[in-house]
Amino acid sequence: MRPSNCGMYFEEFEIGQKIVSLRRTITEADIVGFAGLSGDYNQLHTDSEFSKNTPFGQRVAHGLLVLSIASGLAMRTGALEGTTLAFREITEWKFIRPVMPGDTVHVVIEIKKLKALPRSKAGTVAFELDVRNQRDETAMKGLWAMLVASKAAKAS
């Protein structure tokens, strides 16, 4: 049985539909924690003195950290809560500008393609995820695809 506070079914998505997430500030703890979790202690992320001499002039957050946070922000919109069956793929992902400690990000999701899979009682929802900073500049973006339950699954 599906919880009452769950997300949208496949049939409720429309091409061109946009969903905007809440914002989240990237903290020092996020960066240090991700370095420990991933094992990526690249000096660009962990060494302030080293980073002063890079094109960025300071430490930057791991791109994959911000990608992971974007995934969480997308889930926090509620649109995919409880109806997502699988994360199918990420394609055409671009890291456009760095995210620094203290930057605040949010995501803009735009539905790009829908493909019904009736035998699976689901459908694939393909969307562009645009991660933006506090100046509304795109930091990274790409296409994601999720397998989302259909209303037929609700009747089962």
Q: How confident is the model at residue 86 (pLDDT cuts 50, 70, 90)?
A: very high
* Fold designation for 10-155: Thiol Ester Dehydrase; Chain A (3.10.129)
Q: How confident is the model at residue 23 (pLDDT cuts 50, 70, 90)?
A: very high
Q: How confident is the model at residue 5 (pLDDT cuts 50, 70, 90)?
A: low
pTM of the model: 0.91
For the chain, how far is it from start to end, CA to CA, in angstroms? 9
CA distance to 1, 8, 56, 81, per residue, from 4 (Å) = 9, 11, 46, 11
Q: What is the pLDDT at residue 155?
A: 63
Separation between Cα atoms, residue 80 and residue 13, nearest integer Å: 10
Say if CB 47 and CB 16 are below 8 A apart.
Answer: no
Query: What is the mean predicted confidence (pLDDT) over 97-116?
Result: 98
Residue ranges covered by each domain of the chain:
10-155
More confident residue, 63 or 153: 63
Q: Could you read off the pLDDT of 124-148 as tens digits, one per residue?
A: 999 999 999 999 999 999 999 999 9
Statement: residue 156 has pLDDT above 80: no
Q: How confident is the model at residue 2 (pLDDT cuts 50, 70, 90)?
A: very low
For 10, phi then psi, to 5°, come to -50, -45
The answer for residues whose C-beta is within 8 angstroms of residue 44's C-beta and 6 or more apart is 50, 51, 54, 56, 59, 60
